[in-house]
Every structure is written in structure tokens, then in C-alpha cells.
Amino acid sequence: MTKVKLLYVDDDIHIQEFVKVLFRKMNIIDVTFASNGKEALEVYEKNKYDLVITDIAMPIMGGFELIEEIKKILPTQMFMMVTGLEERENLIKAIELRVNFFVEKPIDSGKFQKVFQDAMELINQKRELELSNLLLEQYKHAMDDSTILSK
């Protein structure tokens, strides 16, 4: 399993405990938990996360507002939403905010693990692309430097 850093946001302590067990089974250890969007945003501003997993309905600041605020900081942040999404408006809003992955409540551990694996594959692809771009940039600088030296 890829080493990832996660932010998990849900006001339901029972769901947090359930998800902790799932993460342990998947050998995911770098997880920060928050109970609402405001707390999560404060933590997010001090750290970088590969994936933010959030509920929609929470006190103080809900999931949609959290996503909007994080997108102001990092527009390419990846998100997974754990929610009922039974209301059509919520699904449309999540799509408009470009939420990458969805898991329905109540959480089915098999479905959660499958969606989480899909998220990990996308994170790995993103990392490989960033590495390739970095190598290309270094190669470009090396070529520019050698061109200057040869002139």
C-alpha cells in the first residue's frame, strides 16, 4: 500500500472508530481526524494531505463549505465524500465541487475499501505525473545550461 496522508472529517464518533479499524486493516496509519469542517480547515492549513475524506452534514462547518475553502487553498486537492447523498441537490453540488469519490452511509467496509483503493490508484498516478514533470523540468534546465555553456 502506498504511504498516504489522510484527513478524515466526521462528527459521528462511532463512524470515526469504525473507519479507524478499516484503516488499520489496510495499514494506513497517517490519518488526522476532525469533528467538523472548521476544525478540519484549521488542521489542513498546517499540513498537506493526499486525500480529504468528509461527511456533508456536520455542526459549525459542513462538508461542502470545507471543500470550497480547501479548494481556495489547493484547487487540485482530492476529496472522498462519505454521506447518504440521498438528496439530488447534494449529489449535484458534490459533482459541481468535483468531489472525486463517494461512499454511502451506512458504510459498507467492502465498498469503502474498494473506493479507497481507487483513490489510492489516482493518488499514485498523480504522484507519478508530478515526478515526471519534475524530471522533465530538471532535464530542460540541464539542457538550457549546457546550451549556454556551449555558446
Q: What is the CATH number of the domain that holds 112?
A: 3.40.50.2300
- pLDDT of 142 higher than 80: no
Q: How many domains does the chain have?
A: 1
141 occurs within a structural domain:
no
- pLDDT of 137 higher than 90: no
Give pLDDT tens digits for 55-112: 998 999 999 999 999 999 999 999 999 987 677 788 888 889 999 998 888 899 999 9
Domain of 102, in residue numbers: 6-124
135 occurs within a structural domain:
no
DSSP letters along the chain, please? -----EEEE-S-HHHHHHHHHHHHHTT---EEEESSHHHHHHHHTTS--SEEEE-S--SSS-HHHHHHHHHHH-TT--EEEEE---SHHHHHHHHHTT--EEEESSPPHHHHHHHHHHHHHHHHHHHHHHHHHHHHHHHHHHHHHHHHHH-
137 occurs within a structural domain:
no
43 occurs within a structural domain:
yes
144 occurs within a structural domain:
no
- pLDDT of 52 higher than 80: yes
82 occurs within a structural domain:
yes
133 occurs within a structural domain:
no
What pLDDT is recorded for position 146? 62
- pLDDT of 141 higher than 60: yes
149 occurs within a structural domain:
no
